[in-house]
Amino acid sequence: MTPGALPVPDYDRGIHHLVPAAVAAVLGRRQDLLPLPDRPRAVAVLVVDGLGRSLLDRHRSRAPGLADGPGTTLHAPFSSTTATSLTGIGTGRPPGEHGIVGYSLRVPGDTRPLLALTWSWEVHDPAMAVPDEVVPEELQPLPTAFDEARALDVRPVTVLREEFVPSGLTRAGLRGGDVVTASGLETTLDAVAAELGAAGPSIVYAHHGDLDTIGHLTGPGSPEWEEELTRIDTAIRHLAGQLPDDTAVVVTADHGMVHIPPQGFVELTEHPALLAGVTTLTGDPRARQLHTEPDATGHVLAAWRDHCGGRAHVLSRDEAIRAGWFGPRVLDRVRPHIGDVVVSARDPETAWVHADADLFGGRLPGMHGAITPEELEVPALVFSGGAARPGRAR
């Protein structure tokens, strides 16, 4: 990236390629994304939520097995947030195609933000999910990477917490696999090991979210966060030592995380000029998307640029699309999901929060969502069975 150029996720090396690359390896086809062994019978993609590459490098003494593991570095999409990333991994597509463009998004015909993780309007509460009002398979109608694997005679398996199986986000982006329920780190890894040991070619997806939760609540790098990182490292090293000879596990993440100090929170209710003309506030505190009243986009764009200065990139929807923030192309049905004004924090210690709209008022010490290396760059570590040696990309 040249000085002064806009940062853009590297979608050529995006995490949405993980499952298709693993399927290609199982089929003996060429793939250049991952150093997988030659034609493994089965590959698992394990997402450790929030495990950014820079965080892993800074805390390598707490997770030497992961920090020194063979593999590569990939990019999360924009927004670098769980709902967007997991839908990308599940569909094999960037957000401009799958349409889950942030933590929350606007659905055509309604001015309320839809919170993608819980599939609920405005309030983060799974009990208030609205899959009958916003049908997940209609909002995201493209086939998933698991559908496509099955069509190629590779059995797809998704290891999910029981409460996540019927969720709108699962139906939108992770449908199509044979579901195995598991909760907690050890149980999840046991399920992964069992499915890797099953007969026939297969691809296994699994997710562990505790590191992200602890990072949000106590900050990445806190003693509690480091303790969880060590627990994950120990468990994955144990799993790697038990892998059948013809299998592999790819350990990756959906995004990284930065630490926001108390003085870094900008409370939007205290800046009414930033909300003037805004009908719907979506996205994340570090990646705000602003849907505006007719003819108010220019005013909102100017107000945010004046306020943010060098702390954030502030683009119109068309500018963000042309820059490639949401991927090489944005489908017509996805455009309305994206804010008329799109904000991505540059300062790693700033977040724009709204006391009434954000979970816990947005004042969480650990955050992500923006286009910074700390939030975009994630590991893709390959642990192979047998000699536990890295394979080679083909």
Query: CA 69 to CA 344: how far, in whole Å?
Result: 31
Q: What is the pLDDT of residues 239-249, one digit of tens each?
A: 999 999 999 99
Q: What is the pLDDT of residue 389?
A: 41
Query: CA 278 to CA 214: how far, in whole Å?
Result: 32
pLDDT at 373 over 50: yes
pLDDT at 394 over 80: no
Q: What is the pLDDT of residue 1?
A: 35
Query: CA 136 to CA 134: how far, in whole Å?
Result: 6
Q: What is the pLDDT of residue 156?
A: 98
Mean pLDDT of 22-28: 98
pLDDT at 120 over 80: yes
pLDDT at 226 over 90: yes
Strand partners, 247: 42
CATH numbers and ranges of domains, the chain: 11-100+125-258+373-384 (3.40.720.10), 262-367 (3.30.1360.180)
Mean pLDDT of 294-310: 97
Q: Which band of pLDDT confidence, cut at 50, 70 and 90, is reported for residue 233?
A: very high
Mean pLDDT of 225-231: 98
Q: Is the dihedral of CA 308, 11, 367, 105 positive or negative?
A: positive
Token look-up 């602890």 returns: 214
Query: CA 147 to CA 175: how far, in whole Å?
Result: 8
Q: Which band of pLDDT confidence, cut at 50, 70 and 90, is reported for residue 295?
A: very high
Burial of 157 (0-12, 13-18, 19+ CB in 10 A): buried
In terms of phi and psi (left: phi > 0; alpha: psi -120 to 50; beta: otherwise), the region of 375 is alpha
Q: What is the pLDDT of residue 380?
A: 98
Mean pLDDT score of the chain? 95
pLDDT at 392 over 90: no
Query: CA 16 to CA 92: how far, in whole Å?
Result: 5
Query: CA 68 to CA 389: how far, in whole Å?
Result: 12
Q: What is the pLDDT of residues 171-189, one digit of tens each?
A: 999 999 999 999 999 999 9
251-290 exposure pattern, b = at least 16 Cβ within 10 A, e = fewer: bbbbbbbbbbeeebbbebeeeeebeebbebbbbbbbbbbb
Query: CA 49 to CA 80: how far, in whole Å?
Result: 11
Q: Which band of pLDDT confidence, cut at 50, 70 and 90, is reported for residue 5?
A: confident
Q: What is the pLDDT of residue 2?
A: 36
**What is the longest distance spanned by two Cα atoms in the chain?**
63
Q: What is the pLDDT of residues 313-361, one digit of tens each?
A: 999 999 999 999 999 999 999 999 999 999 999 999 999 999 999 988 8
The H helix count followed by the E strand count for the chain is: 15, 18
CB-based contact 23:31 (threshold 8 Å): no
Percent of the chain with pLDDT strictly greater than 70? 97
Query: CA 176 to CA 198: how far, in whole Å?
Result: 18
